[in-house]
Chains A and B, each alone.
Chain A
Amino acid sequence: MANTYCTASNWGKGFFTHEDRNDFYLSGHPGDVWVVGNNAAGVAWINRVTGTAKTKAEAQAIVDAKIEESQAAWDALPEAEKAPTAGFETQTRPVKYTLP
């Protein structure tokens, strides 16, 4: 398995370092979900940040739920603000994606 999954709250400086980024794959997603390379450095990082382990399906469900919240917020905007000519005031409707 190439990646492992957890949730952890980013506290700022030191949460992930430049060295971490060169030692293992890491990407953050909505809902404080982190996809972590499954090697010794990645596992040590999860322990360091007291991450809560998740299966890929659990992590994907958290991300999906956060995106659905964003989609609902977007859908509730006035139509004028959702038009392409609204010009950068609102992003396009959030899109779901599959975690690596």
Chain B
Amino acid sequence: MATYKGIKGVKVVTKTSDPTASEAEATVWYNSTADALKYSIAGTGAWASANAMNTARRGAMSAGTQDAGLAMGGSTAPPPGGISATEKYNGTTWTETGHAMNTARRYAAGFGLQTAAIIAGGNGPPGSQLTATETYNGSAWTTSPGTLNTARGALAGSCGGTTTAGLVFGGYLPSPFSNATESWNGSAWTSVNNMQTARNQLGGAGTQTAAVCAAGNSGGSPLNASEKWDGTSWTTVNSINTARQGPGSFGQTNTAALIFGGEAPSMSNATEKYDGTSWSTVANLGSTVYIATGAGSTSQGLCIGGNPPRTSVEEWNDPVYTIKTVTVS
């Protein structure tokens, strides 16, 4: 009689309980408690609900990963006004760090890790845009002497950037919209080539040398335009499918990014994934959201807060592993 080992070359492991679905990827096991043969399969990416933050925020900034995230600043009420509070996420629970930014702000650019993050620009007191830059080491915020060359709010940043190498682009000026791009080397911002389309409320992802942006607003209807940064210049690339402003976004490169939510013009839950060539529609957020912030990668990421100021968080996983039972008829 043929055996599983004879066919596949491995034995079926016996377990008293199922492993997690992701641990069990591409394996078969016998669950002796359930008296069932089981396996795990990889499905398409999806959002799931996560535990809420302690502080409701819209227009917040974020850094880190799905298991080690950071939410920074934002606004807690519809009337303009920024906050300085920071809280961290361990994959299950949000905890206030007790470390306040030196300058309260919202709609800034933020990136890095939970224990090595940076924020730049943003809106300060009502009607003002900031140049101030701060770094966070997991214990305290420090104001950097290196300030943005162009004060602005509602800008985007390189989600995959670090405290020594990052990029910010676009945003809102009193003039009113910016296409300015600035590169961070750990101590100073340098103006580099502008974006093709000036815009604020845009999504951004990638690194100092390989970034992508999409969506936003240039004073009219929400945009679907997308651009790619190669370390030297921006090039217009294939547009997103749903024009929008104020989306959340994340991604560690300019070949793997996610954009979600926003106004299109009503609040949206639409999610799109970039593969370096084109944007494709993927599974929607659980809820519609506007001005959320995002952290992580296209494999594991976070959608944090949003307008009206909210504590809600969703987790993106791609692929999603599911445990199945072998049925024999």
Interface residues of A (CB under 8 A from B): 10, 12-22, 26-30, 70, 73, 77, 81, 84-85, 87-92, 94-97
Interface locus among B43-51, B181-189, B228-236: B43-51
Contacts of B308 in A (CB 8 A): 70
Interface locus among B5-13, B131-139, B281-289: B281-289
- Given known pairs A12-B50, A15-B49, A92-B263, the reply for A87 and B200 (CB within 8 Å) is yes
Which among A17, A73, A88, A94 is the interface contact of B246 at CB below 8 angstroms?
A: A88
Min CB distance, B301 to chain A, in Å?
12
Closest to B320 in A: A18
Contacts of A20 in B (CB 8 A): 48
- 5 more CB-based (< 8 A) A-B contacts, given A70-B308, A81-B79, A94-B266: A12-B49, A12-B51, A22-B283, A88-B59, A95-B266
Asked if B107 contacts A88 (CB within 8 A), the reply is: yes
Tell me the residues in window 15-48 of chain B with beta carbons closer than 8 Å to chain A beta carbons: 43-44, 46-48
Min CB distance, A73 to chain B, in Å?
6
Asked if A13 contacts B80 (CB within 8 A), the reply is: no
- Given known pairs A27-B269, A27-B287, A97-B266, the reply for A22 and B46 (CB within 8 Å) is yes
Nearest first, the 10 A-B pairs at minimum CB distance are A28-B287, A21-B46, A87-B172, A12-B51, A88-B154, A15-B49, A18-B320, A95-B266, A18-B48, A18-B46
Asked if B263 contacts A91 (CB within 8 A), the reply is: yes
Which among A27, A85, A90 is the interface contact of B286 at CB below 8 angstroms?
A: A27
Interface string of B263-280 (1 = CB under 8 A from A): 101110100000000000
Asked if B153 contacts A87 (CB within 8 A), the reply is: yes
Asked if A88 contacts B51 (CB within 8 A), the reply is: no
Grouping DSSP codes into helix (H, G, I), strand (E, B) and loop, the A interface class, with mixed when no group exceeds half, is loop
Asked if A91 contacts B291 (CB within 8 A), the reply is: yes
Tell me the residues in window 166-193 of chain B with beta carbons closer than 8 Å to chain A beta carbons: 172, 176
Asked if A88 contacts B123 (CB within 8 A), the reply is: yes
Asked if A19 contacts B201 (CB within 8 A), the reply is: no
Min CB distance, B303 to chain A, in Å?
12
Contacts of B307 in A (CB 8 A): 91
Contact of B145 with A by CB under 8 A: no
- Given known pairs A88-B154, A89-B126, the reply for A29 and B200 (CB within 8 Å) is no
Contacts A/B (CB < 8 Å), 19 sampled: A10-B287, A12-B49, A12-B52, A16-B49, A16-B286, A22-B46, A22-B283, A26-B286, A29-B288, A87-B172, A88-B153, A88-B172, A88-B291, A89-B80, A91-B291, A91-B307, A92-B265, A94-B267, A97-B266
